[in-house]
Structure 1
């Protein structure tokens, strides 16, 4: 391999334009493609800024031409040459009006034939892409995503710094605590038998920073959750974490809306109008079946329980009689897009959310087509159509069950139908605040109420008295920010009073001893003058995913894990060395 020997890069490949014609330049990068036309060799040279066509001509330099003839895909080279106007221009790349005639070339490193193509439309399996991630990251689309990620982090840092936030780091080795997802545990060698936990978020530390008088804190921070994965989840993920003192809900929302407005303007040149709409949790569930509704399209839920509670269709009437509900969505104007087979596949889809079936009606110019229409008299049928705002050409889809199943099924179904109809525009951005969440949710597995967000979320002032007697109806000073059906951030005003925090722990079933064992350091801190405070955490990966128009967060993370939390490139997680386990006083029992 040759050395640079003082050769200095003057430009990036993708930066050259017609204004550079006549200049002598030095470029360095990877060979994307080579074409040998006899007396000429054309090379597409690629770096992080783009591609430039390099011409090797025997009349310019026979030595350079002969070296170029031996080049292979992904060879790393440096070239020196003069910029000329290109005769056969390429309108598909920014450098398509120029080319560089090389008079010197250095082969800095050769490459074996890559196991994956270095191009965006390679159609390689994700597992293979992750195994050779260092090659996958050479693709222009992946580099573009990581450049976007860098740009957004800079915008966030600059904006928050301008607004008096301090960037403060918090520990990664913390104390295991209950509630929320499973912790990743780290055994301590020096404290035998004890474990650290990797933080699911810096929640307690950022509250302690408010007790410390830091006033406004932020951190772009790694967090860890040992939970089942899907397209928009990773075991290690990044948050934009913020906390502020002496604020109420409107203060937090106002400053975060302006930050998002700047992000969209400076990255996509999209103007987002303020303020964002707000919707109480209860309304979001009733209208969309979801606390993270995609409001780019309709198909809103309608409740027909009152109409069908005494009908002859027992699936509907018995559900209402047993305390459930019957709700539906109107896929307006798209009835002709759905055959019986399509509807059957939608039925299978809702069953994954616990629904027992999917009833349907098509409104045609000859009336209602439906296997269940015969169970309703004309009057009730017309009431249903009226309630569903049904017109000719509409498809009505119904689920009857407990409210939770109905909301889960129809909330996801409306998104699935919109996806299949291909009516979602990735370049349209609809932001929404969902507010007034319940403070508690019932966990059937544990047979108790748990915190919907976390145990430090403040209840609404007027609902504090319900903490002991009416948990189901206690509302939280909590707010989520939703973008196109994805929750990209969530926060709350925190409990800052020791007595209310104790009441909250009691409501969650903790004894006083348990509360002090887990959170004593926080309760002790609250004794020494704690300011009112609140904050928010944004899912940084998810935000970048949506800005980049991608479908999963692995596309915007440099080295992500697969859906079973493994890394095909490094083979993590791996078996630990026996000596390491001995030092940690750990013995493995792998018997079933």
Structure 2
């Protein structure tokens, strides 16, 4: 039978006690982690969010009735204990902060009993994630997840304080917005008052924060909830949190400076890690050429090497054919992996094909300097030597090559480089390598839509020297955009914004908008530009990704209290779900049933 707390007040959390408190009477409350009966004594490990504390129940201190109650305690019972802090007599437990003390109980109340949980409430359990997410309220009791969410809270608090000290104002922007066609799919919210019309949940506060700059607020920030109806990955969720900011009268250096100091503060306060400033910068083109990725992981080498000039006249048709079609031939050197079994190499070839490669050429350099290769018979000895020299190949190395259009080659080798790093255990979670990637392409061509689309968004300012190419060669226009990358993960991105209405109109035209369609979608922003708008820029972090990396987790689901799974559903609440017909009628919505064959 559950009892009340009446007359009891908790004096401290479990792990807030230490040897300094010996002799004090305390009242602690929490969950039973484990109970052990040793005959005349009962020991309970009591758990709350701060950690564990051993409680010592003795019959002569409690009386028979309460001692019998202590005998019945089981895992996850919620209890309140009054007692005295004493030094442990049975030896110190060095695995927990309170290992030198215990509380000898004088009072016990069972505040709530519990059924046996479907999995142990312990760190690093191997329970399937689906079961943990179904019982997320139990999963969240585990100390490792609690540490993650406590870290997340600290990061949010420190961020707010730092930005406030830097002159930023925290301003909320609307959640019910106008749907726009660019970017990911919107989550739509039907309007009851305006039948047939829909709001969109924000993919970001982009337009509103630009309008706040138009309104003279100078420096804005927000920990903003954002929503995108897109396919999920380990570092993606349909709803997520951004550390969002916008600044007036600034350039790239100003934005980078304040954010570098923010990251420096967070890593020092949370992890006691010193980040050396300034953070390295690299253009998008250099990142692609060296790493095959616009979010390169700098914790290991294995950089791409362009060998197009070396193989342009060789007899291997795969190489020369790619060059004749305007592509390139590039390779990576897996140092010391020349003895890799053929079965593993074949698995790498299959991996490369998943990213668009037609195949993967390889060359193993034996310890005696001879070659074992998939293409050696098509090339002369001099051509092979020249290729190996270009790749800085040494005895014992494995050289891997991709030949195709640049986009395919980058994608294949960039991902192959990361796969090899995973296999060779080169990714140290205790090492943090930051990088600014700058000068992104303004546009990328969408084969699906048969037109150029904005790589970031339509409000990004092009490099001034590239403005003349906007109408004639849009594929060559570079953007004043920048991403902040950490260990191969993009944790934030931003840009200098367009603040001149004539350039904004040219941008919409380049993206295929008519003047009318641009005004239909973004008229409120373009009208605002007619009333004096300052030069401005901004950046937004994915808070979830940042916390994931700082907590050394592999998935953002482990740093979000109640995450969704891959199909954007919640296993605990079973959302999304059907709603009553009456609700649909009020919204003028009809549901059309389809079967699987249709």
TM-score tier (shorter): over 0.9
Q: Offset of 1:182 from its aligned partner?
A: 0.4
Q: Offset of 1:121 from its aligned partner?
A: 2.5
Inter-partner Cα distance in structure 2 for 1:41 and 1:482: 52
Inter-partner Cα distance in structure 2 for 1:355 and 1:216: 46
Number of the residue aligned with 1:58: 59
Number of the residue aligned with 1:97: 100
Inter-partner Cα distance in structure 2 for 1:209 and 1:121: 45
| 2:133 pairs with 1:158 | no
Inter-partner Cα distance in structure 1 for 2:357 and 2:52: 52
State the secondary structure of the residue aligned to 1:231: coil
**1:502-521 alignment runs, 5 A limit:** 502-521=505-524
Number of the residue aligned with 1:401: 404
Inter-partner Cα distance in structure 1 for 2:192 and 2:590: 14
Inter-partner Cα distance in structure 1 for 2:426 and 2:337: 11
Inter-partner Cα distance in structure 1 for 2:395 and 2:129: 44
Number of the residue aligned with 1:361: 363
Inter-partner Cα distance in structure 1 for 2:354 and 2:39: 61
| 2:499 pairs with 1:488 | no
| 2:545 pairs with 1:556 | no
Inter-partner Cα distance in structure 1 for 2:315 and 2:150: 60
Q: 1:372 aligns with which of 370, 375, 392?
A: 375
Inter-partner Cα distance in structure 1 for 2:378 and 2:18: 72
TM-superposition CA deviations, 1:38-89 (whole Å, max 9, x none): 1111111000000011111123223332111101110000011111111321
Asked whether the equivalents of residues 439 and 451 of structure 1 are also in contact (C-alpha less than 8 Å), the reply is yes
- Range that drifts further, 353-362 or 193-202: 353-362
State the secondary structure of the residue aligned to 1:482: strand
What is the TM-score normalised by the length of structure 1?
0.99
Number of the residue aligned with 2:424: 421
Number of the residue aligned with 2:239: 236
**1:389-538 alignment runs, 5 A limit:** 389-538=392-541
Inter-partner Cα distance in structure 2 for 1:471 and 1:76: 65
Asked whether the equivalents of residues 130 and 136 of structure 1 are also in contact (C-alpha less than 8 Å), the reply is yes
Asked whether the equivalents of residues 434 and 480 of structure 1 are also in contact (C-alpha less than 8 Å), the reply is yes
Inter-partner Cα distance in structure 1 for 2:152 and 2:395: 46
Number of the residue aligned with 1:351: 353
Number of the residue aligned with 2:24: 23
Asked whether the equivalents of residues 295 and 488 of structure 2 are also in contact (C-alpha less than 8 Å), the reply is yes
Asked whether the equivalents of residues 496 and 532 of structure 1 are also in contact (C-alpha less than 8 Å), the reply is yes
**1:14-413 alignment runs, 5 A limit:** 14-62=15-63, 63-86=65-88, 87-336=90-339, 338-366=340-368, 367-413=370-416
Q: Offset of 1:312 from its aligned partner?
A: 2.0
Asked whether the equivalents of residues 124 and 144 of structure 2 are also in contact (C-alpha less than 8 Å), the reply is no
Inter-partner Cα distance in structure 2 for 1:197 and 1:472: 31
Q: Offset of 1:443 from its aligned partner?
A: 0.5
Inter-partner Cα distance in structure 1 for 2:8 and 2:203: 48
Q: Offset of 1:482 from its aligned partner?
A: 0.3
Q: Offset of 1:158 from its aligned partner?
A: 0.5
Q: Offset of 1:359 from its aligned partner?
A: 1.5
Number of the residue aligned with 2:10: 9
Inter-partner Cα distance in structure 2 for 1:556 and 1:121: 14
| Pairs aligned (count) | 591
Asked whether the equivalents of residues 40 and 55 of structure 1 are also in contact (C-alpha less than 8 Å), the reply is yes
State the secondary structure of the residue aligned to 1:59: helix
Inter-partner Cα distance in structure 2 for 1:121 and 1:200: 34
Inter-partner Cα distance in structure 1 for 2:37 and 2:444: 68
Asked whether the equivalents of residues 90 and 96 of structure 1 are also in contact (C-alpha less than 8 Å), the reply is yes
Inter-partner Cα distance in structure 2 for 1:453 and 1:550: 27
Asked whether the equivalents of residues 333 and 394 of structure 1 are also in contact (C-alpha less than 8 Å), the reply is yes
State the secondary structure of the residue aligned to 1:569: coil
Asked whether the equivalents of residues 151 and 547 of structure 2 are also in contact (C-alpha less than 8 Å), the reply is yes
Q: CA RMSD in A?
A: 0.9
Inter-partner Cα distance in structure 1 for 2:118 and 2:446: 48
Unaligned runs of 5+ in 1: none
Inter-partner Cα distance in structure 2 for 1:420 and 1:138: 33
TM-superposition CA deviations, 1:103-127 (whole Å, max 9, x none): 1100000001111210123211111
Inter-partner Cα distance in structure 1 for 2:406 and 2:466: 23
Number of the residue aligned with 2:582: 579
State the secondary structure of the residue aligned to 2:20: helix
Inter-partner Cα distance in structure 1 for 2:15 and 2:398: 50
State the secondary structure of the residue aligned to 1:479: strand
